[in-house]
Each structure stands twice: as structure tokens, then as C-alpha cells.
Structure 1
Amino acid sequence: MKMKNKLVMAGIFLLALGMGGCVTREQQSASKTVETEALLDKLIRLPEKGFMFGHQDDPVYGIRWDGDENRSDVKSVCGDYPAVMAFDLGRIERGGEKNLDDVLFERIRAEIIAHYNRGGVCSLSWHVDNPVTGEASWDVSDSTAVASVLPGGENHGKFLGWLDRVADFMNSLVTKEGVKIPVIFRPWHEHTGSWFWWGQNLCSAEEYKSLWKMTYDYLQEKGVNHLLYAYSPGSEPDNVNEYLERYPGDGMVDLFGFDTYQFEREKYVDTMEKSLTILTEVGRLHNKPVAVTETGYEAIPDSTWWTETLFPIVDKYPVSYVLVWRNAREKEAHYYAPYPGQISALDFVEFYKHPKTIFVSDLK
């Protein structure tokens, strides 16, 4: 196990500065549990020590395995779980037992509780189906979907029923002692692209903000007071104003992030630098933590990608965590974390050993 300084869970008080729509931390924390506020403080303080490493669907499947207990490709490589584990709620709106990646919601619940008990952090996204067509979230054949779920829209009632199912799941994330587990919730992500029905060309800025506000307000009404909301566009914005074009306001957002992936190294480095520069400024102006909420290099064909590409970029910015995408068991070569024997596995161990990379054992 690495010898690193233990993270301090002390609370801090910061006043939000800068751009309009800001609220004080006191106002925001009034609607959060003590544990959720403590997680927010941790995320703000983390860059003093380093950044957490995260992995989507880490403990539920991986390369050549599915559903095993106490297993993780990351853990198999470095001996430790990621500090952040993320899962998706897609298809919960349908009332089924499994999400869009064929994982039982009961299993996701159990893994979130287990990871919280070991000191880790969990995040949830929601690839919600298109309410107009009934197809997947990537179906952009109808540009009225967002308008249809807003108050007065033909699918408003149906959508509130979908939110009821989200609320029920969130409220079920409770320890055996009765503590609600704080979770980073990342709804309506990558909205600066147009590949989801809530994307840039599928709704107006005001419609997007209304969708976010409706989601936030309804979950609050249902007693869901243990979420940190992450505003997570893609890497399309070229400046602070573009990044904040559809921002719903400080009272409904706790963390700033962005999603981007490597296809060509030079372009990836340039995109990461640009987006992290914007993110740092936005975080400073609004006194909120920042994160790389999705990234990675599919199949990681570069044997030194972890120490020579990802780490040198992220290390320059006050990032609380970096999360890579899932290791699919049903798609060949669709993985973003190493597994034993993978070409970048040895380099990942060096990445793990660095004092500034934080895995779950460093959070105890």
C-alpha cells in the first residue's frame, strides 16, 4: 500500500464570487445532508494533495468476467480500488431490474454502499431514453423531446413518473446505520454536443436550463438531499462564456466537469489543456470543485499513456478527480482501464504509485 498523507475532512466556508446567479455555501448546504456537505468540502480540498482516479462500472464487470464479487480490473492490476466508482441509471425510467449496460440496479445499489463503506466516492449518470420516440438517449430524430417533458408538454406527466423512479433509487442509497450516502449526480451531460436528445441543437438554452431546474426541484421535493450535482458538458466550448451558456445557476450545481476522449494524441492534449484552463477559471469564479468527469483512450494502445499523457496534463490543474470509461465485457477492445497483461498495465502501476494519484486506500 502506498504511503500518502491522509485526506483531511475538515469543513471550510467559502463565499461564491464573480458571475451572476451565485449563492453562498450556507444557502446551498441548507438543502444537503451533513455527509454530502462533507464530500463537497473534500472535493474542494483534494487538489492540495492530488486527484482521485475513477472508473465507470469498475466492480460489476470487466475484461473476460461479469458479475463476480469483490473483483475489479483496476484492483487486479494495482491491488487497490479506484477512489471514484461511477454507474449509470439509464433505463431506470422504464421500471426494469437492469440498466442499459445490463447491470441489476440492486447490484449498483449494493456496490455504492460497499464503496462508501470503504471510504470511496460514487457518481451516477443517466442515459435516459428519448421520451418521444421511446428509443435510446442517442436518438436525436425528434427535436421536441426536451420541450415535451417541461411543464405543459405532452410528456411532462410521464417524465415526472420517471423522476419518481430516480428519486426512489437515490433515497434507497442508505447504510445499515441509516445514513444517506452522498453521490455525485451528473444529469444531462455532454449537452454542448448534439448526440443526446437534450443536446445543443435539440433544445434552446432556456429549455435546457428549465430541464435541469425541473429535475433538481422535483428531486428536492422528493427528499433527495444527498446529491452533489455535476455540470458536465463536452469539450466543445472554447471559452468561459461558451462553457456557461446553458449553466442553470450556482444553487443547482456543485461541481464543474467536462468529457473528452483521445483519438489522436496531439489533439487530445490540446483539447485537455484548453478545457482544463476554462474549467479552472470557472471553478475559481464560482468557488466550486472541478473534475474530468469522463475521459480515456479506447483499448489504451499506448504503453506509457498513464504517466506520459494523462498525468502530466491533469497534474497542472486543481482537479478533484479524473474518471475513465468502462471496460465492456460485451464489446471487443472497448475498455479504458488496464487489466492484467494489458500493454499499459505496468505503466498504470507507476501511475498508481505516484503520491498525487489518489485511490480508495488513500481516502481512509
Structure 2
Amino acid sequence: MIKQTLKRIYSIFLTVHVSSCGIAMSFENQGSAAEDAQGWRADDIYVNSTESIKALDVLAIKNKKLITYDLNGKAQSTKLSSKVNLVDVNATNEVKQIYAYLEAVGKSSSAIFGHQSDTHQKAGDSTLSCSDTYDITGSYSGVIGIDALSLVGNEYSASRYNSELRNTIGGEKIPETAAGNVEAAAKLTNYNIENGAIITLSAHMPNFSFVQESGSYDGINSYSKYNFSSYTPNTIGGDVMNQLMPGGKYNEIYTAYLDMLADYASQVEGAILFRPFHENTGSWFWWGAAYCDEATYKNVYKYTVEYLRDIKQIHNLIYVYGPSCDAENTEQYGLRYPGDDYVDMIGFDMYNIDPAQDNTQWYTNFQNELNIVEAFAKEHKKLFAVTETGVGTSVADDADNQTALHKSENKAKDWYQKVQAMVANSNASYFLVWANFSEKDGFYTPYVKAINEDKSLYGHEMLDYFIQYYNDPTTIFAADQKQILNNDIKNINIKAKATTKNAIGYITSPVSGSRILDNVTITARVTNAKKKDAVTFVLTGATKQTLTAKASGDEVTYYANINSDILKALGEKTGTIELLINGVSNDTINTIFNIPEAVEDPYCVDNFENYSGEDSILNKKWSTNKNTGDTISLSLTDEKEKINSGSYALKFNYDEASNGWAGATLTKQADWSDCNALQFFTIPDGNNQKVVIQLTANGKVYETYLNEYEQYRISTAPMLITIPFATFCERDTEGKPTGGLLNDCSNITSIGLWVNAIADSAAIKDGRVQGNIYYDDIMAVHSDSTTVNFELR
């Protein structure tokens, strides 16, 4: 829930903050702050630095070993691999070099500092440089993140390049077109590489069901047909993830988007850590767990890799898998992992919300997640990193949009040092904090407002702490690694070894979770196949049916037909289709044979009667999410006293830390404009935690908090609750106004059931709380009630 709020605020940041590099606030060189015309003194919040920047800890390569420094400044050597396993055996030399370097850094006692948008978004004075990190330290961050939004004219553009970076590096102006925007992003990236940074590319992809044609197709670049610049990754709808594969409704638009990424990568003169479909284990993006099952996610990821690598012949990408931070063990981490043959590097995203100096729980959770991901990386022989982190706040400062660092009175000023110590002590090679959009719109590092006459810095209250962090010998910034990355490592011959030489594949059609009611063709993509390789599909329903697959003309696509006799033999059953190559299972998707979808009542969210009593089917429909260290379990109960009607109800079990949260979401596309309330049967657990009923409508999140009502707070009695739409608050709007759902209820897209722990509540025992809440007959209704109504049953 907290992370969802943070991500929703990000969407506001990215929509509002499109073309500005930073707030154009300029101060004269000064020894103390000036007073403005209104009498407000800047020194109310800004400070002068007292720490000095120490000399660079320049890394070196000697005898094919990477020389870094430990916490005491003592030189440390780590062997550079001469052969690396890569998804792309034809990878460029730069990819092999960066892979070997990151591997060595991970094994050392050092870690690289990463910062999203380090050289094209900032919170400090825009006249000083293009980077807040540079303003403080004299170096750019060692890893610089760029998002695909910078390729489409949103976070960066040809126009910005022409007026900013071109003045630094020279050259001709770039046309302000779709292709020009891509070229501008590539030139910015090359500038960062030349200055010693490693590049990571994330992709806040638009919801392709909302993408419109641009009207400015250039006749060359497929992506110029479409307008990809709007920020809609949080907009849920269109069943997009299940429609991206060949034959899918949005495949043509998606491949045009990938063509754009390929055009960018082809112009980048170095390696790119490509991290698509990130934070997929949450449900705040349209590619999240609530909107596709595990098999679909994996196969779309695999298809993306093969499209860029094999069809577009892009060979300077290192493929990164970066979910959220909710894995309790390596088995859970691997549930949506696309596989060793499609992933080079793994990571996780984890933010510290509302940190306190004396609160160690987040650091404990962070260390636990580090351990889990490190263990998975070792088991699968992959690189690993903390792909996103940072300090956030649940409430923005007054008059600001930001929910990142505060302008003043931050509680955990030494946060970077603590995270550095944990990351450097692991095999992770870097951690990356999110972008400094502006002083008003959110920032994850301190920043400089002016340089004083004595060359000290004037700005954010954490300047000295960040300088201390930079001075730590174990930290690596761009200037520290520039020499070895741009020169020394290029003299080492590093070879690539394919992750496998065997034939491998995955099913492209039907998509996982499909109902098969008529004759249909099964298709799969198989690479590395030879004529002798046997490719088969095994269908499991009421019986098992094995089909021999045939290769199509492209020698990559394999297919087989399900005819009426085979379909009849499979019976009315939930089942699977498995792809076998030479008897080895490569992929399994879920299917429903010969069972038509029940006629859906548009007003019924769920009565829990359509799962045949099987928890596995329930958990494919409802997607769960939780904080690190917490657990949630959904199951069906047939206990009569727990049920309102029918044979089953939902049992919602949670076990959370005192700062924990957990919940479940269900996708529901509906028009409820002729209703005015949500009604459901429930049995509370009396724990007085923050129980949230959530509706997503028209791209907005609306919530009701049941613990705010005396009738619910400590009750354990069965009750029917009716919540008028007018009482739902708009979660992500300042002041959380009510009433908006009445206008947006014509476009319902999902419902969520959540429990957030309340740290000081009586139910917290030994730092944890656990309970069971029951739900049944959740539906939209028309009610005469104008307030939330609780009817005991």
C-alpha cells in the first residue's frame, strides 16, 4: 500500500515535470543566507557544508585484477573473470567488460552509487551543472539510470538536448521529431559513459491500450507512428500483458515500442543494463501480478529479450530482472523469474518510507532481502544489485508534490552510509536511488543552492552527510571508475559463453489462463533447435494428450493443432499445456478446457462460488502483495458460520510486522454508474488495524478505512457493510477529498482488500500482529444510506 502510494505520486511527478532540469533558483555567492522580499529567510532550512571532499579513490586494474579499497582505505584486489555467461553470446566487448567489472565489484568490499536521471533531472541550482551529485562531489554517480520516458520527449527530448547538452559537447542541432528524441537520449547516454558512468535503462511503458497514433509517421521508424509520451504505466485496463505476444491485440504497438528501444541502444556506445517490467510482483503497474499470471509474465519477458537480441540484432544489452521486495525466500523470488537463459542480472526495489533514526526494522528487512536475492544470484550464477531504493515519506511537505526526502528535519541523515555498508558487504555491485525531479517534485539526494565565497556549499541539510558518504573509501562514483572502464579494461580479453547451447523455448499462444472451447493452434518459439530435436506439447486435463509440434518456415515458430477429438478427451477441466524439447520441460501454461466463462454479473465483485472450492483457482484471480517480512494467505472456507450465502467465503489471513502491510487485488472492469455504494459481508478480527477497502476507478485510487468506525474497530461479529461511493476518499490527492468516486464509478478497474499494521495498537505482540478476516458477497448496489452502514447479522 505505501509503495503503491509512492508509485502513484511518481506518476504525478513524471506528468508534471517534463521539460525542466531543475528549479531555476539562483543565489549570489554568500557566506550566509539572504532574506527575500517577503522577509522569509532561506537559512530557515538551508545549511553551509563543513566537510571537505577528499581525493578520488581511483580504481585500477593490475594483472587482470580489479583494485578497490576497503573501509580503512587499504587496497583490495579481485580477479576479473576471463569468461562470462551471457544471455547474448554475441554481446559486444563493452557488455562483457561491464559484466566482468560488476561481478568483481560485487565480490569486493565496495559498491557503486547509482542515481536515476543523474545528469538530466535535478533539485539544486540549474546554473551550477546538470547534476546534483556532481555539484556536491565533483563526480557523476557511478551508475546512471535513464528511463524510456527520456526517449519519447517526456523526461528528455531533442529540444532539451539542443538547448542544454549540445552547448557542452558541440555538434549540430537534432530534429525535434520522434527519431530526434531517441537520438538525443542516446547522445546524453554517451556523454554519461564518456564520463565514467554505467547505464541502466528502465521502462515505465505506457498502457498500450491507450496509445494513440501520432499522425507524424516518418516512413522509416515504426515507433514514430505512435505517441508513447503519456505516462500511463499505473493506468490499469485493456488486459495488456495478455495481448503483447504475436497475434495479440497490442503486439504491433508493442514491437514498435521495442523498435524505439532498439534504435536507442544501437546509437549507444557502450553497455546498457536493461530492466523491463520492473516491480512486477506488486500490482501498481499494468504488468503487475494482479494483471497476468506467472507464466504470462515470464513469456512476455522472454519474447522481449528475443525480439531485441535476435530480430533487432541488438547486442549491447545486459538483461536485468528487478521485482519488488516481497520475497520471503528464494523460492518466492523465483516465481516470476524468466529463467537463466533470459536474465543476466537480478535485483530488487525497496524504499524506506518515513525512516526514523532509532528504527532498525527497515534495515533488518533490507538486509533480509539482500540475503535472499544474493542467495538466488549465487544459485543461478547471476550478477545482482539493489536496482531501486531511497528514502520516501508518506506525506508531502507543505505546498510540495514530493514524497521523497524532506527539505529539512530528515530523521535518518546517515541513511546512505548505512545502506552502503550493507550493500558493500554483500555481492551486490551497486544500489540506485531514484531521481531528483526538482526541489518541489521530489528528490532522493541532497542538493546545492549556491557555492559560497570560501568554496563551501550552501544547500540541503544533508550535504555534510552525503560528503561523508562520498569520502567513504568503499563508495564508487563515475570519476573513480572512468579510467578503468574507458581504457584499462578494454585491454583484457573477456569471452562470452552462452547460458545454454541446447534448444530452448516457450509458448506464445494461447496465453496462460485461456479458456479453450474450440479447435485452436498452439504455437511456441524455439531457439537453437536442430532437425533432430523433438518438440512436443503435452496437454493435461481429464486425460493427457501429447501433440508433436512442427516447425514453420522461420524455423523458430513451432505449432500443433488441438482438434475436436482431443478437446473432447481433455474434458471439462482446469489444466495445463506443457512445452517439451527432447523430453525436457521448457514451459507450462495454465488453461481451462471446455468450461465456458460464467456469465459475469457486472455488479458482483466476487461471491467466491466460481472457484470449484479450489484455492489455486482463487489465487490466480486475486493477486496478493505485501511488505517485506510480512505474509498473506487467501483461501476459501466452507465453514457455515463464516458464509453469508452459497457454499464458500474468503478467508484473508495476515501476519505483519508493526510497520507492515498486506493486501489482495482483483481486476474488475465495470460500469457502476447506476449504483452508489459498495456492499459486502465480513467478519472482522477485532485487531483494530487499518483495514482498507480500495476501488480503482478512472485511473484514481479510492479508499475507505474501516478501523475509523467504532462499529468495526474491535468487533468480531458478522456484519453486512454498505459504503456509499460518496464516502470513499481519493487516496493520492492532497487532503484526500471524498465524492470523486461518484463521477468515476463508470470506469471501475479493480478492487483491493488491505490490512496495514498500526504500530501502537494493543494487538501488536512482540512487534507483530496476525489475524483472519472473512469476506463474502462483495458487490455494487444502490443504497439510500449516505453514511457507512454496519448491519450485524
* Fold shared per TM-score above 0.5: yes
Q: Deviations over 1:107-150 (max 9, x none)?
A: 432221112122220111011111123460111234x1111111
Post-superposition shift, 1:241?
0.9
Instruction: Report which of the two has the higher share of helix.
Output: 1
Q: 300-309 or 191-200: which moved more?
A: 300-309
Residues 280, 290 of structure 1: 8 Å contact kept:
yes
Secondary structure of 1:127's aligned partner: coil
Post-superposition shift, 1:106?
4.0
* Residue number in structure 2 paired with 1:344: 462
Q: What is the RMSD computed on CA atoms of the aligned residues?
A: 2.3
Find the aligned partners of 2:331 and 2:122 in 1 and give their Cα distance.
Answer: 39
Residues 303, 343 of structure 1: 8 Å contact kept:
no
* Residue number in structure 2 paired with 1:18: none
* Residue number in structure 2 paired with 1:328: 437
Work out which of the residue numbers 170, 184, 201 in structure 2 matches 1:124.
201
Do the aligned partners of residues 138 and 91 (structure 1) sit closer, same or farther apart at CA in structure 2, a change above 3 Å counting?
A: farther
Specify the code of the residue in structure 1 equivalent to 2:116: Q
Secondary structure of 2:364's aligned partner: helix
Identity of aligned residues (%): 28
Residues 302, 344 of structure 1: 8 Å contact kept:
no
Post-superposition shift, 1:13?
5.0
Q: Deviations over 1:10-67 (max 9, x none)?
A: 75157xxxxxxxxxx456452311110111011100031401001111111211556x
Residues 233, 258 of structure 1: 8 Å contact kept:
yes
1:43-82 mapped onto 2 (5 Å cutoff)? 43-47=102-106, 48-65=108-125, 70-82=129-141
Find the aligned partners of 1:307 and 1:159 in 2 and give their Cα distance.
Answer: 38
* Residue number in structure 2 paired with 1:285: 379
1:292-331 mapped onto 2 (5 Å cutoff)? 292-297=386-391, 298-299=404-405, 301-302=410-411, 304-306=413-415, 308-329=417-438
Residues 112, 173 of structure 1: 8 Å contact kept:
yes
Asked if 1:232 corresponds to 2:322, the answer is yes
Do the aligned partners of residues 195 and 111 (structure 1) sit closer, same or farther apart at CA in structure 2, a change above 3 Å counting?
A: same
Post-superposition shift, 1:313?
2.8
* Residue number in structure 1 paired with 2:473: 355
Find the aligned partners of 2:374 and 2:101 in 1 and give their Cα distance.
Answer: 17
1:163-178 mapped onto 2 (5 Å cutoff)? 163-174=258-269
Q: 27-36 or 80-89: which moved more?
A: 27-36
Residues 80, 104 of structure 2: 8 Å contact kept:
no
Find the aligned partners of 2:440 and 2:86 in 1 and give their Cα distance.
Answer: 48
Q: Which runs of 5+ in 1 are unaligned?
A: 15-24, 175-180
Find the aligned partners of 1:73 and 1:355 in 2 and give their Cα distance.
Answer: 21
Do the aligned partners of residues 157 and 107 (structure 1) sit closer, same or farther apart at CA in structure 2, a change above 3 Å counting?
A: closer
Specify the code of the residue in structure 2 equivalent to 1:124: L
Do the aligned partners of residues 218 and 307 (structure 1) sit closer, same or farther apart at CA in structure 2, a change above 3 Å counting?
A: closer
1:215-230 mapped onto 2 (5 Å cutoff)? 215-220=304-309, 221-230=311-320
Residues 302, 343 of structure 1: 8 Å contact kept:
no
Find the aligned partners of 2:58 and 2:114 in 1 and give their Cα distance.
Answer: 18
1:104-253 mapped onto 2 (5 Å cutoff)? 105-134=182-211, 136-142=232-238, 144-174=239-269, 181-220=270-309, 221-253=311-343
Q: Which runs of 5+ in 2 are unaligned?
A: 1-54, 67-78, 161-180, 212-230, 392-403, 449-458, 484-793
Find the aligned partners of 1:350 and 1:114 in 2 and give their Cα distance.
Answer: 27
Do the aligned partners of residues 333 and 164 (structure 1) sit closer, same or farther apart at CA in structure 2, a change above 3 Å counting?
A: closer
Task: Give the TM-score of the pair, scaled to structure 1.
Answer: 0.87
Find the aligned partners of 2:321 and 2:365 in 1 and give their Cα distance.
Answer: 18
Find the aligned partners of 1:308 and 1:34 in 2 and give their Cα distance.
Answer: 34
Q: Deviations over 1:183-232 (max 9, x none)?
A: 10110100010011110111011110111011101101211100001100
Post-superposition shift, 1:242?
1.0
Find the aligned partners of 1:245 and 1:258 in 2 and give their Cα distance.
Answer: 14
1:15-94 mapped onto 2 (5 Å cutoff)? 25=84, 28=87, 30-47=89-106, 48-65=108-125, 70-90=129-149, 92=151
Q: 309-318 or 145-154: which moved more?
A: 309-318
Find the aligned partners of 2:405 and 2:156 in 1 and give their Cα distance.
Answer: 19
Residues 109, 424 of structure 2: 8 Å contact kept:
no
Larger Rg: 2
Q: Deviations over 1:157-208 (max 9, x none)?
A: 221122111111111113xxxxxx1110110100010011110111011110
Q: 159-168 or 229-238: which moved more?
A: 159-168
Residues 129, 135 of structure 2: 8 Å contact kept:
no
Q: 331-340 or 228-237: which moved more?
A: 331-340
Find the aligned partners of 2:411 and 2:255 in 1 and give their Cα distance.
Answer: 45
Work out which of the residue numbers 130, 154, 178 in structure 2 matches 1:99.
154
Find the aligned partners of 2:413 and 2:244 in 1 and give their Cα distance.
Answer: 46
Post-superposition shift, 1:344?
1.2
Instruction: Report which of the two has the higher share of strand.
Output: 2
